[in-house]
């Protein structure tokens, strides 16, 4: 090769001999070429890499392939995630792109779910040109990403399984099935509408709902003494107009009843701030009530049930109220132990106060915000969409963002047209 030669996308502009130090510590002379890519980028390459065709561009060719082919882009997206996960957890990673391709486009081995845009986050990703895919689950969470230990797994099953073994996961699913049937046996109609979502160690259940997109359109048309029986393109435009111009009353005719089971108090506190079009029944979600009432610590002793974070995040440097979502503190094991010790100390203090004869209404004062409880949350479509817009935001607490994504999935499943309009405008 000579200066001025063009090979693939690279034009040679200079050639040099230089000394290179390798990771092993060895040094040796290598030949390099300075080449200008068709995209305008100029950089140094190994002489033999350009000559053999291993280096065809500055990297833009690979980038274009990933951005143009949805399948390749999806595989690259999953590979990047797996590599990051393996490095963070110090796990063995032996999968090739061919291995990943053979897994992620299969149905979920646990529930049979097809590769799909199963959640609000994935819907946004697919909008950037990705193919539907399922995730990669490690059958034995103690082993790495190696052939024989990885299977296709949908988002919900992956979240529910966490670090459980397959047998433990089967037992957990059986318990959920038994519990849900027990809860909804008292209201047969709810069995037909219930949708279950995993929230950390708790559950979010669409218990019941009233109305849909048709209700919104008819509520708006009643002013002209008109009613419709099915949604048309005209009604879609009407709903979009209502949301854009803040004519919100029609959206309040759609109501949702949502069970939040074993959700920590610090998350529920942020829900309590959303009052318009909302009613709460807190505590044992099977009790009969019509307003926000909690199981009272004045009457009963609480069971030990506290939320433990998946990871301990560092404080954001520029956003005073937020954390870095994908980072962890340097000594996470130490932070986790401090957290556990503090919760245990608070719980011991609660019981010791009771043993000393202190009234329950005072003993409960030492219980921290990590305490988990259960509520029934009844709210209008307008209120839930408003909650999602405020809490599915990078400035919101990560644990609350996770709940907002679930609520978004719920309202989109019942009112896809109205939800899209409310969240857009």
Q: Is 254 left (phi over 0), alpha (psi -120 to 50) or beta?
A: beta
Tell which residue, 153, 142, 157, has the closest CA to residue 78. 153
The answer to whether the beta carbons of residues 364 and 350 sit under 8 Å apart is: yes
The answer to whether the beta carbons of residues 219 and 248 sit under 8 Å apart is: no
Rounded to a whole number of angstroms, the CA Rg of the chain reads 28
β partners of residue 281: 376
Q: Annotated catalytic residue: which of 252, 364, 391, 412?
A: 391
Instruction: Please say if 327 is a catalytic residue.
Output: no
Tell which residue, 403, 399, 422, 402, has the closest CA to residue 412. 422
Beta-carbon contacts of residue 402 (< 8 Å; ≥ 6 apart): 199, 200
Instruction: Using DSSP bridges, classify how beta strands 195-199 and 202-210 pair: parallel, antiparallel or unpaired.
Output: antiparallel
Active site residues: 391
């Amino acid at each position: 090769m000579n200066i001025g030669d063009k090979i693939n996308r690279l034009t040679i502009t200079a050639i040099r001999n230089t000394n290179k130090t390798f990771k092993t510590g060895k040094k040796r002379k290598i030949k390099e070429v300075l080449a200008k890519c068709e995209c305008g980028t100029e950089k140094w390459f190994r002489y033999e890499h350009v000559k053999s065709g291993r280096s065809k561009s500055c990297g833009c060719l690979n980038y274009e392939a990933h951005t143009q082919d949805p399948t390749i882009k999806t595989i690259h997206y999953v590979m990047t995630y797996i590599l990051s996960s393996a490095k963070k957890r110090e796990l063995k990673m032996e999968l090739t792109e061919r291995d990943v391709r053979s897994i992620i486009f299969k149905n979920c081995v646990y529930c049979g779910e097809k590769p799909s845009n199963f959640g609000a986050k994935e819907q946004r990703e697919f909008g950037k040109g990705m193919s539907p895919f399922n995730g990669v689950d490690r059958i034995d969470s103690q082993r790495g990403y190696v052939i024989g230990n990885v299977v296709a797994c949908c988002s919900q099953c992956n979240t529910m399984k966490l670090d459980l073994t397959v047998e433990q996961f089967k037992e957990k699913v059986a318990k959920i099935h038994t519990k849900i049937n027990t809860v909804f046996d008292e209201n047969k109609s709810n069995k037909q509408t219930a949708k279950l979502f995993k929230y950390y160690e708790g559950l979010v259940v669409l218990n019941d709902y009233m109305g849909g997109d048709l209700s919104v359109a008819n509520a708006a048309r009643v002013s002209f003494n008109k009613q419709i029986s099915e949604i048309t393109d005209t009604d879609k435009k009407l709903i979009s107009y209502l949301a854009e111009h803040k004519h919100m009353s029609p959206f309040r005719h759609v109501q949702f009843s949502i069970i939040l089971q074993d959700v920590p108090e610090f998350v529920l506190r942020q829900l309590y701030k959303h009052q318009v079009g909302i009613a709460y029944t807190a505590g044992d979600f099977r009790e009969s009530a019509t307003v926000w009432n909690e199981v009272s610590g004045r009457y009963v002793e609480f069971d030990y049930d506290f939320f433990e974070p998946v990871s301990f995040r560092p404080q954001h440097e520029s956003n005073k109220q937020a954390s870095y979502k994908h980072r962890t503190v340097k000594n996470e094991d130490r932070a986790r132990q401090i957290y556990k010790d503090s919760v245990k100390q608070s719980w011991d203090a609660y019981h010791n106060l009771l043993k000393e004869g202190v009234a329950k209404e005072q003993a409960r004062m030492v219980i921290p915000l990590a305490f988990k409880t259960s509520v029934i949350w009844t709210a209008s479509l307008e209120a839930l969409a408003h909650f999602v817009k405020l809490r599915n935001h990078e400035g919101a607490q990560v644990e609350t963002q996770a709940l907002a994504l679930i609520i978004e999935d719920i309202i989109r499943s019942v009112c896809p047209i109205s939800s899209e309009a409310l969240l857009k405008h």
